Structure 1
Amino acid sequence: MPTESSSKDQLNSTEVLSDVDADISWEEAATSLLTELEESSFSSPSPSKLSNTKPSVLQEHSNINSNQCIQPTLEGKIVRDLSFKPRLVTEYEQENYWEKDIEALNYWVYPEMDEFREYQRCFCELAFYHNLLLALPTGLGKTFISAVVMLNFYRWFPTGKVIFIAPTKPLLQQQRTAVIEITGIHAYNTTELNGNVSIEARCKEYRSKRIFFMTPQTLNNDLRSGFVDARSIVCLVIDEAHKATGSHAYAQVIRTILKHNSHFRVLALTATPGSTTSAVQKVIDCLHISKVIVRNEESVDIRPYVFHKNIQVLKVELTRDMQYLKADFADMYFPFFDFLRKKKVIPGTCDLKNLKSYVLLLALRKYSFRQKENQDKEKLKIFGYFKLLITCAHAMYLLDCHGIIQFYQKLHEIQTETEERKSGELYRLFSSNPFHFYMNHLQHLIANDHFMNHPKITHLTGILKEHFQQATQLNSNSRVMIFTEYRITAEQILKAFSNEKPLIRTSLFVGQANSVDSVGMSQNLQKEIISQFKAGIINVLVATCIGEEGLDIGDTDMIVCYDTSSSPIRMIQRMGRTGRKKDGKVFILVTKNSEDVKWERAKASYRRVQKVIENGQKLILKTDVPRLLPPTCSPTIRFQKLNSIHQQSFAGLTDNDKRDESQVETLGSQPRRQLPSIVDDEFEDMKSNLRIPTPEIKLRRYLADYRSTVYHTHGTSINLTKSAIVSKVRTPYKIGTKSLLDFQISALQTKFKSCTHEEIQRYKKYEGKWKRKKRKLI
């Protein structure tokens, strides 16, 4: 039986999570925790069964393993030390890991660029001698620094492998292209590997290539399976390194390599290393970091290269209807709230109308520790009440910060789930007559012609109209990104601007995962949307979390955060999308007395972490990181132009790796070109015997053919939904607009008059191929 002091220590450890993990799925965490607690309290499982029980969401964050090193943080909390002492290597073993190019070790190459930045040179040099965690604001050259480091390790160790790992495949493609362009390394010496590549193909690439761009899951699996030798790795670059905590694939990769190889270099890149001091320490431990460099926009060495961001926080008050909805919903779960308050298992400061999920979850965990040996029925009842309140708190958050439609859909989803089980406290509440009356009231409210989902929409409309009207007067091609947490909120934002064309041309930008009512975006579609956004065809991109990290979406003039997060990492990633090449604007929409508290907490957490890292007194760095370069070797910098090498880098690409540049050059020497899989209204091709189109024709296609249609929620050309949506408030994804199709049809009718019968039949043949491809997408 644990002592009271040990319980308090574990509780304090959990409290650290309140800021870091405010964005996790609290319902999932509550369900997982309740299931485990109920089994341990009422089923009395054997110790062997308990040892094999899958840990809950919160345990994965807060449990302290007895075999792990325990250390205090700045706040006096206890955190895990996930690192372990790597296997020591002898001098003889070190010399036999990889061959060294003694002549190349005399200097290191720095590419000559249009603009030289001293901080980039300094950080590159430090990365040669330390396992470096580098935190730089977005847009200040993390990709350039990583490319220079990879280039020099590639030169120095001719038999060593240089690996770049990133969480997403589009990010890998982007980084591979950037490294080739910056360093001039031949493209046939690089490869991109992920789970879609067969094992045989990966093994072949490991034998023939030296620079790899991989997902961490693929690398970890291949290391454990023995397809790649861990001792051959000389440099590992990790993008979005703040994810490397706990059992993340990044951490697993480092542990797997350290079991066999202590002699390799780590360069970890991120915009923000962590939300709290303990989170930063976990990253340091997991990645075996020996030096940390953190810069913000106020740092002296990078300030000359940072453009100003004008950040405005707009506090939005709920409408009277929304306040009534909150009060009525709170009245329905008041009996459950009052019962727990009288039992003194929830804090007395809890507000009935402003419940917070993480506060309730921490109270539940505290109660479970206090009543660990108690197995009466009241304990099970309290667990059920906690789960109900956590669920209701999340629904109330959606009403507060996102809108009535999101609130209604969440309640409808919970109601459907509880009706299937027909048991539990949630079923009692969501099957009651007052709740059915409440849902009917919501339906009538949404069906009203003057319905407003959330007052944030009104503020957002005013901000965008004013911005684009000014841009039109200045004849400027301005671009805006809107960030929101949920896909349904992004859909509602898009719907609100459907009648504002051509001033505001919006598009969704979401992930690949399928939701209940719609499918995600494929990677090709994501690339197409980004291309349209950069070209100005789309001037407003409504993005979920996929737009926050990594992808090269380009610089934007203004960022609008439709909702906020208590995690400073996400907020900094969002705001980093503007202010790269010129001054930018940031508008943050917060609900008064709800989100404004989260925003202030995120700022305070960020300032606290920055101060601790700058002082460097509370972070424990690794001291057992070996030197890779010979002790007598101190390479000097050599500036070198690499453009000439880059011109040759595409010459050695295999057929699978050829990009658009090499493809056009190869086809240009042939009398005919390969027919495209989709032929639209390109009659210029038919009249020119299907030869290479001119740049003017390619531009015309890009602006007007099927492939440049805007991805949004209107039109009837191609329906990408899995099934018809019954709910009136859910808008399915579609691609193509009626106006664009009408324009194409009229253009076709004009072109048909000047074409021969043979040309028309040829066009119809390939138009049929396009229609067959379209049917496959549905």
Structure 2
Amino acid sequence: MFFTKMEFDEFIEMENIVPNKIIKRDYQINIFNSIKNKNSLVVLPTGLGKTIIAIMMVAYKSRSGKIIFLAPTKPLCEQHYNSLKELTTLEGIFLITGEKTKKDKRKDIYKKANIIVATPQTIENDIDIIDFENYSLVIFDEAHRTVGNYAYVSIARKCVGYGICILGLTASPGSDYSRLKEVIENLGIENIEVRTEDDRDVKPYIPERKIRWKIIDMPVEIKSIVVKIDEIIKDFLIELNKYYKISASPRRITKKMLLELQNRFHLRAEKEKGSIYNAISTVSALIKIYHLKEMLTSQGIESAKIYIKKIEEDKSKAGKKIRKNPKYIRVKNEILNIKPVNQKLELTKRILMKHFSEKENARVIIFAEYRDTIDAIINEINKIKGIRASKFIGQAKGSGNGMSQDEQKKIIKLFKDGFYNVLVSTSIGEEGIDIPATSMVLFYEPVPSAIRHIQRRGRTARGGLPGEVYILIMRGSRDEAYYWSSKRKEKKMLLQIKKLKDMIEKVALKREERNEKIEEKRRISGQSTLDTWI
């Protein structure tokens, strides 16, 4: 028997797992028993131990072949590599990165390794030098990425072709049914295991997490400027109607619609000339003005001032078009002269002061969408006694500043050690990076994505410790729409997963019934032949 005992006490006891190391959780055992011999997708919220389930699968499947453990980022690969080294007794575990290891050397590693931890890009590049016949399991972490042209897709196809057991892990596969179906089909999934924090076998292990959303009333001065920005938007929508029929009402048009229209115009520009370029500059101007409106209402007056400076320095046709608009000139002057009181930032400071007064060793992550906003938050909260904040952002984009992966690792270590007690992060902190458990997560603005909402929320109330979540919402801004959008999508996601799970189970049942009928026919046929012979 693979388990040394089926009734667990405090720790998991399994062959190839270090004794007295992994605390037993019923739902992890239940999931493992369901997935160990089937291509499976495990959907489990951030912080509930998807990695432990993966390690149990590695311990089990290592008896029958080699294993590949895939993760989308190098820091996450390093995290999984360290977990395997720490929690299993297995040998021949290798971490491979394409940049640091030449292909010839990697070929030798694939031959002698028992377990490979790598990014999908590395494995995809080496797909011709890996002998997949020797592999018993491939794990796809952040499996919701298995769509389109992402490297996971070609690797999954190879695994399905060789009949290798597949395990997909995700905190949230998204709410789009067709995308979910694509993930399931690409990974050859036969079984889906879903758990939420409300499930019976999960609830006993969930620390208390208080979620509070704070509605902020938009200042009268900002409301007045928003009305004037809508007039600028209307001007450009009327101009856009010369080239493309579209509503002239700012309330009926979203930035997303404009971005899609811009892409369509760019595709047409490859074949057409002349007026299409005017249409492109007009829609580009509209996108910039919509963004200014977002900055003002959702991020605050300082962020709006920074963005106006960018418009003033913009040398594109769209930038020039905006600067020529008399209404924009008036709006610009109003924004530049308004008293910089940022209600969101002031509320953030009050929440932090209260939290740190109640929890001496608190650790907090603030998620914000824009780097300019992050700089503004850092500058203000570092003035508060006892708060030591650092920004945590992705790598550089274009001419902007960013953080290398080494810098990111250094910041995380300093946060873990207590040198910093607040991280102000972009979406880089949502997935794929091993950030220590926090006592509070604050959304400076909501996000419209169910995946991102779940991942952000899951950064607190981990490791048995309670946590708090604050979501700041500016009334009358896109914040309200984004908040309700993420709530709807999360609910929809669970319904879509259930629908797919039911579909897979029906297909499996039909397959089983068909196989039973074939077996019955064979048995009857065999008996008939035997009777004839006798």
1:192 equivalent in structure 2: 96
CA shift, 1:430, in A, is: 2.7
Larger gyration radius, structure 1 or structure 2: 1
Q: Indicate the residue corresponding to 1:323 in structure 2.
A: 223
2:443 maps to 1:561? yes
- In structure 1, the residue matched to 2:323 is 430
Note if contact 1:191-1:209 (Cα within 8 Å) is conserved in structure 2: no
2:390·2:423 contact (CA, 8 Å) conserved in 1?
A: yes
CA distance in 1, matches of 2:365, 2:325: 42
Q: Is the 8 A contact 2:159 2:165 kept in 1?
A: no
Mapped partners of 2:502, 2:489: distance in 1? 15
Q: Which of residues 137, 155, 168 in structure 2 aligns to 1:235?
A: 137
In structure 2, distance between residues paired with 1:435 and 1:127: 59
**Secondary structure at 1:121's aligned position in 2?**
helix
The answer as to 2:419 corresponding to 1:511 is: no
The answer on whether the counterparts of 2:70 and 2:138 sit within 8 Å (CA) in structure 1 is: yes
Kindly provide the amino acid, as one letter, of the partner of residue 300 in structure 2.
G
SS state of the match for residue 534, structure 1? Answer: helix
- Partner residue of 1:168? 73
Gaps of 5+ in 2: 6-13, 509-534
1:614 and 2:518 aligned: no
Contact 2:378 2:389 in 1 (8 A): yes
CA pair 536-367 structure 1, distance change in 2 beyond 3 A? closer
For 1:109, the equivalent position in structure 2 comes to 15
CA distance in 1, matches of 2:201, 2:57: 20
Asked if the contact 2:237/2:248 (under 8 Å) is kept, the reply is no
Deviations 1:548-603 (A, max 9, x none): 11322221111101111111100110010111122211100012122112111111
Once residues 274 and 378 of structure 1 are traced to their aligned partners in structure 2, the CA distance between those partners, rounded to angstroms, is 39
Shift of 1:607: 0.8
> Per-residue deviation at 1:229?
2.5
- Quote the Cα distance in structure 1 between the aligned partners of 2:500 and 2:452: 24
Counterparts of 1:326-337 in structure 2 under 5 Å? Answer: 326-337=226-237
Q: Distance in 1 between matches of 2:492 and 2:330?
A: 48
C-alpha separation between the residues in 2 aligned to 1:218 and 1:512? 20
- Structure-2 change in CA distance of 1:235 and 1:402 (3 Å): same
Q: Which amino acid aligns with 1:130?
A: K
Letter in 1 for 2:420: I
Q: Aligned to 1:602, which of 464, 467, 486?
A: 486
Counterpart of 1:62? none
Alignment of 1:352-367 (within 5 A): 355-361=253-259
Query: Among 453, 460, 485, which residue is 1:571 paired with?
Result: 453
1:334–1:208: structure 2 CA closer, same or farther, 3 Å change rule? same
2: distance between equivalents of 1:366 and 1:486? 26
- Match for 1:590 among 459, 470, 473? 473
Letter in 2 for 1:524: D
Given candidates 410, 415, 423, the residue that maps to 2:307 is: 410
- 2:10 aligns with none
Which residue of structure 2 aligns with residue 12 of structure 1?
A: none
Aligned equivalents of 1:619, 1:588: Cα separation in 2? 36
CA distance in 1, matches of 2:334, 2:84: 57
Return the offset for 1:621.
7.9
Equivalence map 1:78-89=2 (5 Å):
none
1:228 and 1:621, CA in 2 relative to 1: closer, same or farther beyond 3 A? farther
Residue pair 1:163, 1:211 contacting (<8 A) in 2 also: yes
Alignment of 1:253-292 (within 5 A): 253-258=155-160, 261-292=161-192
- Taking structure 1 as the reference length, the TM-score comes to 0.58
Give the Cα–Cα distance (whole angstroms) in 1 for the partners of residues 221 and 100 of structure 2: 50
Could you tell me which amino acid in structure 2 is paired with residue 116 of structure 1?
Answer: K
Whole-Å Cα distance in 1 between the matches of residues 238 and 409 of structure 2? 52
Give the Cα–Cα distance (whole angstroms) in 2 for the partners of residues 196 and 190 of structure 1: 13
Match of residue 363 from structure 2: 479
Say if 1:530 and 1:553, in contact at 8 Å, map to a contact too.
yes
Q: What's the counterpart of residue 532 of structure 2?
A: none
Report the 3-state secondary structure (helix = DSSP H, G, I; strand = E; otherwise coil) of the residue aligned with 1:236: strand
Partner of 2:35: 127
Tell me the equivalent position of 2:9: none
Instruction: Compute the displacement of 1:459 (Å).
Output: 0.7
Using a 3 Å threshold, how does the CA distance of structure 1 residues 564 and 440 change in structure 2: closer, same or farther?
Answer: same
Alignment check: 8 A CA contact 2:368 2:444 kept:
yes
Is 1:395 the counterpart of 2:300 in the alignment? Answer: no
SS of the counterpart of 1:586? strand
Distance in 1 separating the partners of 2:125 and 2:505:
28
Question: Of 60, 84, 106, which residue of structure 2 is paired with 1:152?
Answer: 60
User: Counterparts of 2:93 and 2:340 in 1: how far apart (Å)?
Assistant: 59
Which string of whole-angstrom CA distances, capped at 9 and with x for unpartnered residues, describes residues 349-377 of structure 1?
A: 6428xx521234567799999x99x9897
C-alpha contact 1:345 1:364 (8 A) present in aligned 2: no
Preserved contact between residue 364 and residue 386 of structure 1 (Cα < 8 Å): yes
Superposed displacement of residue 395, structure 1: 2.8
* 3-state DSSP of counterpart to 2:36: helix
Q: Give the deviation of 1:295 after TM superposition.
A: 1.1
Question: Structure 1 regions of 5+ residues with no counterpart?
Answer: 1-102, 625-778
1:182 aligns to 2:87 (yes or no): yes
Report the residue type matching 2:75 in the other structure.
Answer: P
Aligned to 2:151: 249
Assess, with a 3 A threshold, how the Cα gap between structure 1 residues 288 and 392 changes in structure 2: closer, same or farther. farther
Deviation at 1:456, TM superposition (A): 0.5
Is 1:215 aligned to 2:156, yes or no? no
Counting only pairs closer than 5 Å after superposition, residues 633-648 of structure 1 correspond to structure 2 as none
Asked whether the 8 Å contact 2:98–2:122 carries over to 1, the reply is yes
Give SS of 1:129's match: coil
Match of 2:517 in 1: none
Q: Is the 8 A contact 1:509 1:544 kept in 2?
A: yes
Q: Which residue of 2 aligns with 1:451?
A: 340
**Alignment deviations for residues 64-91 of structure 1 (CA, whole Å, 9 cap, x no partner):** xxxxxxxxxxxxxxxxxxxxxxxxxxxx
Alpha carbons 1:340, 1:346 under 8 Å: kept:
yes
Question: Is the 2:96–2:106 contact (alpha carbons within 8 Å) kept by the matching residues of 1?
Answer: no
**Structure 1 residue 256, shift from structure 2 partner:** 4.5
Aligned CA distance change for structure 1 residues 345 and 514 (closer, same or farther; 3 Å): closer
Shift in alpha-carbon separation, 1:432–1:609, aligned structure 2, 3 A = closer
- Separation in 1 of the partners of 2:383 and 2:124? 49
Deviation at 1:457, TM superposition (A): 0.1
Cα pair distance change 1:262/1:608, threshold 3 Å: same
Q: In 1, Cα distance between the equivalents of 2:90 and 2:254?
A: 52
TM-score, with normalisation over the residues of structure 2?
0.83
**Could you tell me which amino acid in structure 2 is paired with residue 194 of structure 1?**
G
2:357 is matched with which residue: 425, 450, 469?
469
* 1:338 counterpart residue number: 238
Supply the distance in 2 between the matched residues of 1:617 and 1:155 (Cα, whole angstroms): 29
* Percent of aligned positions that are identical: 29
2: distance between equivalents of 1:203 and 1:329?
60
Q: Does 1:488 align with 2:372?
A: yes
Change (3 A) 1:436 1:287: same
Q: How far off is 1:304 after superposition?
A: 1.1
Aligned pairs, number: 497
Contact 2:40 2:190 in 1 (8 A): yes
> Take 2:94 and 2:3, find their aligned partners in 1: how far apart are those partners?
22
Looking at structure 2, the residues matched to 469 and 382 of structure 1 have their Cα atoms a distance apart, in angstroms, of 55
Residues 106 and 508 (structure 1), Cα distance of their counterparts in 2 relative to 1, 3 Å cut: closer
The alpha carbon displacement at 1:348 in A equals: 7.1
- 1:661-672 residue pairs with structure 2 within 5 A? none
Over 3 Å counting, the alpha-carbon distance change for 1:315 and 1:515 in structure 2 is farther
1:434 shift after superposition: 5.3
Could you tell me how far apart the structure 2 residues matched to 1:377 and 1:508 are? 45
